Amino acid sequence: MKNVLRQILEPDLVPVREHYAHVKQKILDYTDDVDEHGDENNEKYRILEQELHLLTQKDMSQFNLWEWWEADGVENLAFRICLPDPPKVDDFSREELREVVERICTFVEPTPEIEQDEIAWLLWGNQSDFYHQLLKLNFATYDFKYFIRNKDKNGNYFEYSIEQKIEAIWVQTNH
């Protein structure tokens, strides 16, 4: 794949590298404190939400800071909290759309360099979520169904090809 994405459309790892360890530790400390002392009125939870919001400027209501172990772990949670949300742009090109769709649909083995870098490893595991958010934000015609197996009116299963996904999402009135 040839990278045609502008830097603004790429995940910004600078804040992740800057805040990840701190955010992860705050979540673990909160969990330990609640396990030991409780948080009946959710005051400690609200304090944690506020601290993380001030640090990242993200809406913390989209994250479950308490029962993270029932999802996919504190590492992924801390990474997602630290990763800036994708941007809304007015000039998303068709070539960039193709690049994003291909990144979502193409499995790429992690390199040894990625496996040795915790932040790069977490990006490798979470980039599909980032790109789905990017498409949803920038294309009114985006629908997650384009990326999963579907059933037609006859009950037969099918998947959209990359070209069909691009055609379905790309609408000139969006740009």
Residues 67 and 103 occupy one common structural domain: no
**pLDDT confidence tier of residue 2, bands split at 50, 70 and 90:** low
**CA angle at 110 for the pair 70 and 166, rounded to the nearest 5°:** 85
The verdict on residue 45 lying in a domain is yes
pLDDT tens string 36-76: 999 999 999 999 999 999 999 999 999 999 887 777 899 99
Among 58, 82, 106, residue at a domain's last position? 82
- How crowded is the C-beta side of 88, counted as CA atoms within 13 Å? 5
Residues 61 and 96 occupy one common structural domain: no
**CA angle at 97 for the pair 95 and 98, rounded to the nearest 5°:** 65
Taking a C-beta distance cutoff of 8 angstroms, is the pair 99, 1 a contact? Answer: yes
Residues 141 and 165 occupy one common structural domain: yes
Residues 130 and 159 occupy one common structural domain: yes
Residues 74 and 95 occupy one common structural domain: no
pLDDT at 10 over 60: yes
Query: For residue 65, is it left (φ>0), alpha (ψ between -120 and 50) or beta?
Result: alpha
Residues 127 and 107 occupy one common structural domain: yes
Please state, in angstroms and rounded to a whole number, the distance separating the CA atoms of residues 118 and 69. Answer: 19
Residues 64 and 94 occupy one common structural domain: no
The verdict on residue 1 lying in a domain is no
Among 82, 107, 139, residue at a domain's last position? 82
pLDDT tens string 12-32: 999 999 999 999 999 999 999
Pairing between strand 150-151 and 157-158?
antiparallel
Domain that holds residue 100: 89-174
Domain count, the chain: 2
Q: What is the pTM of this model?
A: 0.88
pLDDT tens string 132-151: 999 999 999 999 999 999 99
Please state, in angstroms and rounded to a whole number, the distance separating the CA atoms of residues 47 and 42. Answer: 9
